[in-house]
Amino acid sequence: MKRIAFVIPTLDQSGAERQLTLLATALASEGHSVCVIALNRGGHYQKELERAGIPVHVLGKRFRFDVLTWVRLRRVLAEFQPQIVQSFLFAANTYVRLPGILPAGCKCVISERCVDSWKSGWQLALDRKLWSRSVAVTANSESVANFYHSVVGIPRDRLHVIPNAVVPPLPIFTRDEARSQLGFSSEHKVVGFIGRLAPQKRLRDLVWGFQLLQQIIPEVRLAVIGQGPEREAMTSMAVNFGCREKIVFAGHRDDASSLLVGMDAFVLPSEFEGMSNSLMEAMSLGLPCVVSDIDANRELIQHEVNGLVFPLGQCPELTKSLVRLFRDPELSTRLGLAASERMKQDHSVEQLVTLHRNLYESL
């Protein structure tokens, strides 16, 4: 049995936080001694961790580099005396590798979750300087591993690909209830997106493709669930295109994944990803998915086998893919079933835990 400390900036309702929670609770149930440290704040997953008997320490980080947080993190780790510290996301990955943080003999594992082309020069320089202070780096996809090998220079033998796990969302709503929550009726054909409304998601492509789609299939509707800086631009586009009344911007919802049952198709038009939790949840429920042609999406979706792939930024091709799904119910059903089976076979919590357990043993 191991003593393992997980460190992450927050416990908000997001992808990395979800994966940490799945891993930590599963390891704790096996008898490992686990604690979780949030640098900035707790959040959605704090209660779930605490219900599983896992202590959560919130350090209250205020600044980009907060000396008080360095002191608090060092103190918590000294008291817990973990054999392994595993961190998630840039801020946590940086703090755990600073001098004087880890107890003697403790092994440091960091987790990279995305093709982080957004990082500025100083952040990449810091990654290059600090990578050698970790004994292993996990990546949730081959594309993420390739990025950190080619851009940051982490040797391949330090990189370990451990795909995200998915648990199908609990059936809180029936199909009609989920549609009612979004303001749709049983006659509508619903296209959905769940995630942060951020530029890298290319959600303006989704609005553009949708305005073409609704001219071909008048009963189609679009549900956009999430918050972010692109909300205003998307709304303005929809107004200018004359399709605003057919789009629901639902904002952030704690029950977002439970609303997937009310959708007929899921779209992810991103220009870069790590491994999308929302896409995986949609696949696990058997939703036919249409995704942009980027490496991370192709690790989940094989074109015309368990979903449809369109060229990045090509809005008419996005529209054509959705038209195919709505006009060919047999294709839609076949792709959805194949997607669900892929999630069961290759992205279970059991696999997530086994691969991490094997990594810990190898250290």
Domain-wise residue ranges, the chain:
3-165+348-362, 175-346
Give residue 356's pLDDT band: very low, low, confident or very high (50, 70, 90).
very high
Long-range CB pairs of 60-69, under 8 A, 24+ apart, other chains included: 61/9, 61/91, 69/39, 69/95
* Residue range 308-331: mean pLDDT, rounded: 97
What is the average pLDDT score of the chain?
95
In SS3 terms, 110-128 reads as EEECCCCCCCCHHHHHHHH
* H helices present in 119-202, as ranges: 121-130, 142-147, 175-182
Pick the closest to residue 34 from 58, 76, 2 (CA basis).
2
* Mean pLDDT within 111-138: 93
What pLDDT is recorded for position 334?
98
Q: Among residues 223, 224, 233, 189, which one has the least CA distance to residue 322?
A: 189
| Calpha distance 200→311 (Å, rounded) | 15
pLDDT score, position 64:
86
Residue 338 host element (H or E): helix 329-346
pLDDT value, residue 161: 97
* Domain at 175-346: CATH code: 3.40.50.2000
pLDDT above 90: percentage of residues in the chain: 93
pLDDT value at residue 1: 85
| Reported confidence tier of residue 117, pLDDT bands at 50, 70, 90 | confident
279: pLDDT strictly greater than 90: yes
pLDDT higher than threshold 90 for residue 76: yes
Phi-psi region of 123 (alpha: psi -120 to 50; beta: other; left: phi over 0): alpha
Residue 64 makes CB contacts below 8 A (sequence gap 6+) with none
Class of domain 3-165+348-362: alpha beta
What's residue 217's pLDDT? Answer: 97
Q: Same CATH topology for 3-165+348-362 and 175-346?
A: yes
Asked whether residue 170 carries a pLDDT value surpassing 90, the answer given is: no
Check whether 168 has a pLDDT greater than 90: no
**Predicted TM-score (pTM) of this structure:** 0.89
pLDDT at 304: 97
Q: Which whole number is the average pLDDT over 135-148?
A: 95
Angstrom distance (rounded) from CA 189 to CA 264: 6
Phi-psi region of 183 (alpha: psi -120 to 50; beta: other; left: phi over 0): left
Q: pLDDT digits over 174-216, tens only?
A: 999 999 999 999 999 999 999 999 999 999 999 999 999 999 9
What is the tens place of the pLDDT at every residue in 1-27? 899 999 999 999 888 999 999 999 999
Question: Which tokens is 64 given?
Answer: 């980009």
